Structures are given as structure tokens and as C-alpha cells.
Chains A and B, each alone.
Chain A
Amino acid sequence: MKISYNWIKEYLDLDAKPVDLAEKIERTSVEVDDVTKPSDGLKKIVVGHVLSVEAHPDSDHLHICQVDVGEAEPLQIVCGAPNIAEGQNVIVALPGSRIANNVKIKKSKMRGVPSAGMICALQEIGFSEDVVPKAYVDGIYVLPEDATPGDAVYDYLGMNDSLIDLDVTPNRGDMLSLYGTLHDLAAIYDKPVELDHPEVKEDGAAIDDQLAVHVDDALSSQYRMRLVKNLKLAPSPMWLQIRLWNAGMRPINNVVDITNYIMLKYGQPLHAFDYDKFNGEDVYVRTAKAGEKLTTLDENDHDLDENDIVIADQKGPIGLAGVMGGLDASIQEGTTTVAIESAVFEHDHIRKAAQRHHLHTDASQRFERGVNQAGVQEALDAAAQMMNELAGGEVQKGTVVGSHNIPEPAVINLTLTHVNAILGTALTMDQVSHILESLGFEVTISADTLTVTVPVRRNDIHIPADLLEEIARIYGYDQLPATLPTGRMTMGSLTAKQRLVRATRKSLEGLGLNQAISYALTTADKAKMFMMQASETTELAWPMTVDHAVLRMNLITGLLDDIAYNSARKVKDVALYEQGRVFYREDGQDRPAEEEHIAGAITGTLLPAAWNQPAKPVDFFQMKGIVAAYLKDMAVNGDVTYVPNADMPEMHPGRTADILVHGHRIGFLGEVHPSIAKKFKVGATYVFELNLQAIVDMPKQENQYDVISRYPAITRDIAMLVDNDITNEQIVALIERRGGAFLQSVKLFDVYDGVKVPKGKKSLAYTLTYQDKHETLVDDAVTQAFDKVSKRLEEELGAEIR
């Protein structure tokens, strides 16, 4: 809500400049979006009196005007506005002036005729199109008759006021009005504020004989109407129009403007109906019936919902309560009798109706947050009074009341001890009671206790904590001390799981992978790829896009998306890992289980080509090396084995292995199936994904010290020819099993399956290291063990030792 600095000053004796006032509001009550002065940036824009208007000889719409701008000679200005006429006072941008958007106006020629400046529309001097009175939207604006030619126009149009745009939080509905804001400012500046209260001059007949209202209390806790007859519709006086457009509202006519003005002043939305357009003399406040329709003031048609509150006459709805009135019973030319409605509608219904019909209006915004329920009649009276004063209407006797449930003010007890204990302050009773009283709250004190009566307008305050906020903000958060919690000592340490997750990240970074954080919401297709266990998908009820509609059940697709993003930007070497959750859902369950996973993906080369080394494209074994090193870092207890898996549809059937720890599958690694890679638009990519939770839960090997033998080790190399389907793992396992007591390690140093070996065979070569921890090994012992294992290899694996 934009609030006028000048309007505030009518009620409050303030020295503060607008920016300082805004700063104070922001620090003490609600956020301020900005402070603007409409005349800022404008230059040399004055009142001009149109002395004569002639048609332009070479144009069918341009006019040549002689305009008195308060100087010795009139200016000749060419003007294209259709509504230009002799005798008008108009807005003139002089030569050398600046109008909206920093546009400079110079002397020029228009179709050959010299033009010294420009006659302006309101939009051209910075008014938003939707606040310009309808009569002037498509033409120039006409200033009042008593404007003096040559004067700057700003004061005539209220443009020297400063407007403070408040961003009111949902709890502070009271700040959506001048009066509400004044109450807060009174406390902030610790100054009295004098508000005016209307006195209605009633005339004519009793309203009860002319109008009856029938209200469902549950929908409208208060519903009041007044009737004003014999009104003369006319444009509002300038001061009123200025208030409205400076608040961002379009002036329409005196009657409608008065309802809007009262809303800005009191925060109470009003609606004016044309009484003569009612069918009958009864007005109903009820929910809409199935099939009912309403055309609202903005000329949009709405199919009403059975949860919409409507104002209706005998025939049907004439307004969407608290949101927008209907077109049929609206104030239009010829209206003479007006029924003014001042009411409180149930906020939840209003919120939903505004959403349902996409009609977020100034009225609905206020009803959603709650209006001052103690001020409904006063606002109504003020409006009736103004209609008498400004439109010559006769206010009929009395108010018709359909419901009148005014809540009792909240009474809250609070102790000074509590205030200081929670705020961490040392405030005195005087300070606290003074703050509360300055907000307009009633305070009685008994010993340590304050009994606070909160005015109904502050519908956000119900409990002591609410009062604490009032005290704290008015006292000032800057004055609060800054301390740290004391009290019993607590331990701050990571859990074993948290430590392992951190170690996981460090390990993989050390191995060359960058941490990625991808989207957990993905497409239905991607969610289901690279599955490590069977699961139902978990889908969003109302996704924003199909790209982020289903919860992932793997991390790899996210990494492939990342690689594709890089690849599309010509970044071809990518090494990523991600640690995050996948979501497995059992059939019949609404909620998925969340499992921590860790995954990696590499493409291109891990080490870029450099002047001293060629690029080495990533391959299976590079990824396997990373996984093996990582699992070693995690010190899982038990053998890690890699078992071929040809059955994962998204993986290369010959280059994929399940990863088993002590026989339990914890994940897989391998090359992404080329057709899947193609789908993702990525090159050859190697990936792994592991169940991190499983790694967390596994028993771990503690570090231990092993004496390093002082005795020399003896090595023997063995090369053998075996059938292609014999695996390295089989050979190593056999050597380790049959290698004898002194065998320390087996290391593969060559694999060859080229032209020098028979078809269907491959050659493997290993270095066997023997060592005795307690004495020097004798050569014979090694030879004996070596011969034995060679024989076993021949017998059990059909190896041909070379």
C-alpha cells in the first residue's frame, strides 16, 4: 500500500524527512518497498492556458495552439490530442523540459509548423495508465479553471507529495490504512495523534422502511448499510482525486471515490450499490447457488462457486462479497440513490474466492487479513457524511444492520519479569507500559503484572508473545544486547554417519571428481532408470513442468543431465559425483523411503592432455580404480568383489559390474549403454552408484599397525596362457589360496590377448612377492612354494605356464 507523507502530516506533527520516516517504519513495523516523489526527475512542466486552437493545414488530427504559459508571449504548440480545446488549462512541457522516463523536450517542427514544447497527458508526466481518470486516458489532461498559467503543475496534481510503499506482512492488516499506520507512527515517534470522527447529518425517511438485509452470520459477522438519496454524480474534487491516484487508484466519480477514500483512510472496504437497480427492497448475504453467474464491475463474467459469498437481491447475485461488486447494480451515470455497504466477511471464504476468480482486489486483500471490526459503523458514517458534503446526497435516517458481532478486545496479562527474561533486556515497568500505551493499548499495573487491553483493530495480538513483539520493536532491536545462550553445556559433534558422508565427499574429491548438486525432481522416464531395487514412482500432484514431476530413484540420470549441459557448452571432460537421496516407494504407501546414495560419472578424460602427457580417454578401469580407492578409504570390512552384470538395460552389457562387499550388492559401475548415452546427448560415459546408507551401516576395519619386516623380500614373476573366460579374479584367488605361508602379494603386471597368443586365449603375468617376517627367506622355500602354485594353476585353471 502506498501511503502519502502529506496525509500523514495532517495528523502527526513530524519533522522527519520522507526517507527517514520510511526507514523508521521499516525498522519498527513493516517493510518499505520504496519511497517515491512523483515530481522527481521532471523539469519545467507548467500550467498553460489554451488561447486558441486551429487545425493544422497538413494534418487531419494535429492542432496548432497558442498557449499562455505566464510569459509575455504565448507559445505556439502543435498538439495531436483529440480533446484539446480553447479555454482549457493544460499541462505544458516547455522547451528544455524533462518529462517521464527522462525524455527531453525541445523546440521542433511538426509537419512544417514550429512547436515550442508539448501539451501533455498524465501518462507523459509519469502517471500509470491505470490511475488516469477515464476521461483523460486517451488525451491530454485538463487542469482546474483556477490554475495559474506559468505555475509548475506539480502541486496542482499532488506530485510533490512523497509516497511510501509499505509491504505489509499478513498479520498487519491494520497497516493497510492511514489510521492504522498513524497508530503505529504515534508509538514510533512517541507523539499524540488526533484522528477525526464523522458526524452524519441525517435527512429523509427511516432506512428500515426502504431496505432490509438478511445475513448469514457465519459468512458476515457484521453487515451494515446506509442509504443516500438525491445524489449528484460528478468528478471528485481535486484533493480527493489526488489522494486516490497517489495511492494507485483511479478516480471515477464522487460516490465511488468516496468509498475508496474511506477504505484508504480507515482500512474498511465499502461498496456502493445503485439502490434503484435492486430487485425489491431486500438484500441477502448468502453463499452462491449452483449455476448462478455474475458479471463483475470489470465486465468479466464469473460462474459462481457454492463457496462464494454473494450479495444478492430477490433475483440473484449483485456482488461477489468482499471482492468486487456486480456490474448491474453498480454506480453509473444517472444513479441518484446509493446503498453503502460496510461489512466484515469471513476471511477464508474471501481468500478462496479471490483465488478462484483471479480477483485480488484492494477489498479482498483487506478482508483476508481482517479489518477493524470496531470501526465498521464509523467508516460507513464517514462515507455517508462525505456523500452528503460532496455529492449533495440526503443520508436517510439510521443504519440497517444485518449482523453485528463485534469481538471483545483481547485482555492479556504479562509480567515485567517475563518481558525481560525473554527479550534479554532490563526494561522498567514505566518503559514497558509507556510503549504499550503509545500504541493505544490500555494498561493497568499490579505489582509485577501488566494487564493489557488491546484494541479490536489490532486483530494480530492475542497472547503475551504478541505483546513482546510490540515492546521489542518499539523499544528498538538495535537497543537489544547481543549475547550467546548460556545454560547447560552441550556436546557438538558429528554422528558416525555424518562423518562418513563428509569423508565420502573428501575422498571422491581427492580422486578427481567435482561435487554436483542436481535436481531431485525429474521426468518419469529418468526417475526409473539405473534402478538398484524395485520401487514404485512418487509423482507430484501438480508439477510445474514435466521435467520436474517425479522423484528420482537414482542419481546417475541427474549427473548425465549435468554432463549433457556441459557437453552442449563444449565442455567435454567432466568428472562429477553427487551425494544425495533417492526415493523408493512401496505400492500402497503414500510416502517414499529416502535412501542416501553416492554416484559418480566421468566422460572425456580425467586428466586433460598436456604438453608432457597425452590425453587418456576414461575407461572402465579408471572408474573402477576410483571406486576401489573410495571403498578402501571407507574401510569396509570384507572383500570387495566385482561381478559382471549384463542385465541392466541402461548399462553396457559387457562393461558393467555389480559391486559386492562381503557378498552383499551395494551398487554397480560401468559404461552407460551407448544408446542411452545417445539419448542424453553425451559421449562414452562411465558411472557408478552406491547405496551410501549401506556403506554407513557396514562394519568397518579399524586402522592397525603392522610391523614392517626387516628381512628381504623375494619376488618371482609368472606368466601364463589361459582361456579367455578365465578371470583375473579367479587366478589371483587361486594364487592367494595356494601361494604358501610367505606369499605377501600378487600383482598383475601384464595382460595380452593380441596376435602372439592362440585364438581364445590370453596371456597374464603376475609378480609374486614372498617374505618372512621373522627371518631371511631361503631361496629353496620360495622355489618350492612357487612351483606348487604353478602346478595348481595348470591343474585347476588349465593354465599354460610360460
Chain B
Amino acid sequence: MSLKDKLSELRQRGLADIKQSTDLKDVNQVRVQLLGKKGPITEVLRGMRDLDTAERPKVGAFANEIRDDLTAALTQRKEELEQAVLNAQLAKETIDVSLPGTPVAKGEPHVIQQIVDQIEDLFLGMGYQVLSGPEVEEDKYNFEMMNLPKNHPARDMQDTFYITKEILMRTQTSPMQARAMEKHDFSKGPLKMISPGVVYRRDTDDPTHSHQFHQVEGLVIDKHVTMADLKGTLQVLAHELFGDKFDVRLRPSYFPFTEPSVEADITCFNCGGKGCKVCKNTGWIEVLGAGMVHPNVLKMAGVDPDVYGGFAFGVGPDRFAMLKYGVDDIRNFYLNDVRFLTQFTKKG
């Protein structure tokens, strides 16, 4: 058998051994057997000394070719086996991805805060300032400057928490109308503000009454503000807070500090306007009071009613939240049961 034939046979046998190796140890053994110092290739090469000098390079090149083939085959086999080992390993590492994620600490904003923030952002976008005022207020601002003189029937003593004869817990955010108008420099442009805050009424707490609740006052005073502007503004508010499907309608009402005064209804949440128990079959739900600022209120705040005028509105975020989410007891907002607080998690 020629040396070349020997080498060819060696390749056949070597490749077969490599193919049959089943683990990395095997592969290593085959490599040592084939390519090691005592291996057959080395042996063949050693036998080259007996060849013609002319034959030697040819056989040598052939031997190297075979060595390279076997090396490549070994490497490939090694990778195949390594991959198999890894696959087996990963198969063992499989987890139940349906197990819950590790809890993270996360707090939620109060639902009323969310509504107040939403109202603030809407009006900021329309160029309003956000003002805040004292919760302990003077009778003068809470009532007198709101066109509710001392003996006015609408300021029933029963409804107000007085501290002294002249100091009280504000019953509404409306005193901020007077405070804002007193401070505003009309030469710098119109007054456009909203004022959110806590208000207090002398009420017994029950599912629909709370001695503490929230209001957001709105006020625009300028030279040419119309009642149509009020209607448009309230429409924007309803659409922003509840969605475009909700309509607004105005009804005559009475507040001492506005004239004309209106109440605004929006489409019933429950029935979408068809009429149901919640809306007493009218399809509408009363949500806020508004009107054109009464000339007396302007005058008392030092604003000339012959030059300036405007509108004001007051909304109740507690009522909004109750309507929007169907909250059936206003006390939920102030008792802070965590199971209640964490229900309103939708962001954006």
C-alpha cells in the first residue's frame, strides 16, 4: 500500500471516528489518536524519509491537507457537541413564565388629585393661572364680597363652620374671585385663573355629604368676555374630563355672585342620555354652577363693571369622581382605604 493510499485510508477512518464521537471527551481522544505525536499521521510523515525527494513534497502536502481536514472536522464536531450540552443545560433552566413578577413599591395619586391635575393642565393650556387661597377665610371674602351681605338668606349659619364672627372655614373657592381681582393688574391683560382647593360645610357626613370636599373655581375677566365664551369653555371642560361624547347644556339658576346664573348639566354617564334612574329619566346630570360675574362683585373688588366683565364657574372634583367612576360614597375619598386608593392607576 502506498503512503498516499495509507493516508487516504487514514482520513476515511479518522472522519468516521470523529463522527462517532459522542461527547467532548471522545472528541479529545480522537484528536490525540489522530493528530498526536504518536498518531498515525505523524507516523506516516516519519515514513517520508524513505521516499524520493521528488515525491516528498507531494506526499507532505497531501498529509497536511488531511491533517487540516481532520482538524476542521474535529472543531466542527466539538462545536456541535458543545451546542448540544448548552441546549441540554438551557432545557433544564426553563422557568414558569406565568409566575408573578417581583413586587415593586409604587404609590398612586389620589383620584381627586388626578381630576384636579387634569383640570389644571387643561386650563394652563388655555392660558389660565392656577391660584390657591386660604382655607380659613374672612367672612368678608367668603360672603360679603361675593354679594352675600350679612343677612342674605343664602348664607345660612347652619352651613358654615365659623371660628369667630368674622373668620370661618371657607364654604366655597369663590372668595378667590375677589382676591384675584383685587390683586390683578388689568393693564397687563385679562385675568384668567382657576383656583382649586378644599372647602368645608357644616354637614353631617353620609354617602352623599361630606363636611370637607374640593372645588375648583374658574374666573375670566376682560373687556369683551361673553356668555357664549362661558358655554364654550364649559364644553371644553366636559370634553376633556369625560370625553367628546358628552354634551353640555345650561339651565337658569341662582347664585348671588353671578348674573345671569346657570347650572350646567352633562350627558348622563349611566345611560348616555337615554334616561335612567341615575339621571331621573332626564338624560342629564347636573355637574357645576356658573354665570357672568355680578357687577356688585366686580365693584367690591375694585373692578369697573362698565369696562370689565367676565364669567366664573365652580366645579366639584368629588362629584366628578363619583360620577365618572360610579363611586357611591363620598366618604371613600377621605377615609383612605388603600384598596380604594389603588384602584385609579391609569396614567396618561
Docked Cα-Cα span, A473 to B253, in Å, equals 10
Residue A53 at the chain B interface, CB threshold 8 Å: no
Query: Are B232's CB and A490's CB within 8 A?
Result: no
> Which segment of B11-19, B161-169, B171-179 sits at the interface?
B161-169
- A571-B338 contact in complex given A517-B333, A590-B167, C-beta closer than 8 Å: yes
Query: Are B189's CB and A488's CB within 8 A?
Result: yes
Give per-residue flags for B133-147: 1 if the beta carbon is below 8 A from chain A beta carbons, else 0.
011101000000000
Residue B104 at the chain A interface, CB threshold 8 Å: yes
Q: Contacting B334 at CB < 8 Å: which of A170, A495, A517?
A: A517
Q: Contacting A422 at CB < 8 Å: which of B112, B113, B309?
A: B309
**A453 CB to nearest chain B CB (Å):** 19
Residue A688 at the chain B interface, CB threshold 8 Å: no
Q: Chain B, interface size: which category?
A: 35 or more
Docked Cα-Cα span, A472 to B117, in Å, equals 33
Docked Cα-Cα span, A515 to B333, in Å, equals 11
User: Across the interface, which residues of A come within 8 angstroms of B129, CB to CB?
Assistant: 490, 492-493
User: Across the interface, which residues of A come within 8 angstroms of B189, CB to CB?
Assistant: 487-490
Docked Cα-Cα span, A429 to B189, in Å, equals 32
A349 and chain B: residue at smallest CB distance = B151
> Which segment of A71-79, A103-111, A317-325, A478-486 sits at the interface?
A478-486
Docked Cα-Cα span, A551 to B162, in Å, equals 12
Query: Are B222's CB and A487's CB within 8 A?
Result: yes
Query: Are A480's CB and B228's CB within 8 A?
Result: yes
Residue A161 at the chain B interface, CB threshold 8 Å: no
Query: Are A607's CB and B198's CB within 8 A?
Result: no
Residue A10 at the chain B interface, CB threshold 8 Å: no
Number of residues from A at the complex interface, CB < 8 A? 97
User: Across the interface, which residues of B come within 8 angstroms of A11, CB to CB?
Assistant: none
> Which segment of B20-28, B53-61, B256-264, B266-274 sits at the interface?
B256-264
Residue B202 at the chain A interface, CB threshold 8 Å: yes
Query: Are A517's CB and B295's CB within 8 A?
Result: no
- A541-B164 contact in complex given A465-B260, A485-B190, C-beta closer than 8 Å: yes
Residue A54 at the chain B interface, CB threshold 8 Å: no
Query: Are B254's CB and A170's CB within 8 A?
Result: yes
Residue A227 at the chain B interface, CB threshold 8 Å: no
Interface residues in A528-571 (C-beta closer than 8 Å to B): 538-544, 548, 551, 562, 565-566, 569, 571
Give per-residue flags for A334-363: 1 if the beta carbon is below 8 A from chain B beta carbons, else 0.
000000000000011001000000000000
**B211 CB to nearest chain A CB (Å):** 6
**A555 CB to nearest chain B CB (Å):** 12
- A498-B224 contact in complex given A463-B295, A565-B336, A590-B167, C-beta closer than 8 Å: no
User: Across the interface, which residues of A come within 8 angstroms of B334, CB to CB?
Assistant: 517-519
Docked Cα-Cα span, A348 to B155, in Å, equals 12
Query: Are A611's CB and B99's CB within 8 A?
Result: yes
Residue B78 at the chain A interface, CB threshold 8 Å: no
> Which segment of B41-49, B68-76, B81-89, B120-128 sits at the interface?
B120-128
**B212 CB to nearest chain A CB (Å):** 6
Residue B292 at the chain A interface, CB threshold 8 Å: yes
User: Across the interface, which residues of B come within 8 angstroms of A513, CB to CB?
Assistant: 107
**B124 CB to nearest chain A CB (Å):** 4
Query: Are A485's CB and B153's CB within 8 A?
Result: no
Residue B110 at the chain A interface, CB threshold 8 Å: yes
Residue A30 at the chain B interface, CB threshold 8 Å: yes
Residue A661 at the chain B interface, CB threshold 8 Å: no
**B86 CB to nearest chain A CB (Å):** 26
Docked Cα-Cα span, A211 to B138, in Å, equals 51
Query: Are A492's CB and B135's CB within 8 A?
Result: no
- A517-B254 contact in complex given A512-B105, A571-B338, A583-B136, C-beta closer than 8 Å: no
User: Across the interface, which residues of B come within 8 angstroms of A511, CB to CB?
Assistant: 105, 107
Query: Are B336's CB and A468's CB within 8 A?
Result: no
User: Across the interface, which residues of B come within 8 angstroms of A797, CB to CB?
Assistant: none
Docked Cα-Cα span, A520 to B135, in Å, equals 10
Query: Are B337's CB and A541's CB within 8 A?
Result: no
What total of A-B pairs shows CB separation below 8 Å? 255
Docked Cα-Cα span, A581 to B123, in Å, equals 24
User: Across the interface, which residues of B come within 8 angstroms of A581, CB to CB?
Assistant: 135
Docked Cα-Cα span, A493 to B194, in Å, equals 12
Query: Are A424's CB and B228's CB within 8 A?
Result: yes
Residue B100 at the chain A interface, CB threshold 8 Å: yes
Docked Cα-Cα span, A516 to B225, in Å, equals 38
A471 and chain B: residue at smallest CB distance = B260
**B107 CB to nearest chain A CB (Å):** 4
> Which segment of A133-141, A146-154, A296-304, A502-510 sits at the interface?
A502-510
**B309 CB to nearest chain A CB (Å):** 7
Docked Cα-Cα span, A487 to B229, in Å, equals 12
Residue A384 at the chain B interface, CB threshold 8 Å: no
Query: Are A544's CB and B204's CB within 8 A?
Result: yes
Docked Cα-Cα span, A369 to B152, in Å, equals 11
Residue A763 at the chain B interface, CB threshold 8 Å: no
User: Across the interface, which residues of B come within 8 angstroms of A574, CB to CB?
Assistant: 338
Residue B342 at the chain A interface, CB threshold 8 Å: yes
Query: Are A169's CB and B259's CB within 8 A?
Result: no
Residue A729 at the chain B interface, CB threshold 8 Å: no
Docked Cα-Cα span, A52 to B2, in Å, equals 146
Query: Are A515's CB and B130's CB within 8 A?
Result: no
Q: Contacting B136 at CB < 8 Å: which of A484, A592, A607?
A: A592
Docked Cα-Cα span, A538 to B169, in Å, equals 11
Query: Are B112's CB and A517's CB within 8 A?
Result: yes
**B149 CB to nearest chain A CB (Å):** 10
Residue B91 at the chain A interface, CB threshold 8 Å: no
Query: Are A482's CB and B294's CB within 8 A?
Result: no
> Which segment of A21-29, A228-236, A287-295, A712-720 sits at the interface?
A21-29
Interface centre among B259, B336, B337, B342 (most CB of A within 10 A): B336
- A514-B342 contact in complex given A485-B220, A509-B108, C-beta closer than 8 Å: yes
Docked Cα-Cα span, A180 to B93, in Å, equals 86
Residue B236 at the chain A interface, CB threshold 8 Å: yes
Interface centre among A468, A571, A591 (most CB of B within 10 A): A591
Query: Are A482's CB and B249's CB within 8 A?
Result: no
Residue A651 at the chain B interface, CB threshold 8 Å: no
Docked Cα-Cα span, A573 to B341, in Å, equals 13
Residue B223 at the chain A interface, CB threshold 8 Å: yes
Q: Contacting B161 at CB < 8 Å: which of A468, A494, A508, A540?
A: A540
Docked Cα-Cα span, A520 to B251, in Å, equals 34
User: Across the interface, which residues of A come within 8 angstroms of B202, CB to CB?
Assistant: 542, 544
A-B contact pairs, 22 of them (CB 8 A): A26-B251, A170-B154, A170-B254, A465-B260, A477-B262, A480-B227, A480-B250, A483-B228, A483-B231, A485-B190, A485-B192, A486-B224, A487-B225, A509-B108, A510-B106, A515-B341, A518-B336, A539-B163, A540-B161, A544-B204, A548-B211, A613-B103
- 9 residue pairs, one from A and one from B, having the closest CB atoms: A424-B228, A512-B105, A424-B226, A469-B260, A169-B254, A477-B250, A509-B107, A562-B336, A482-B232
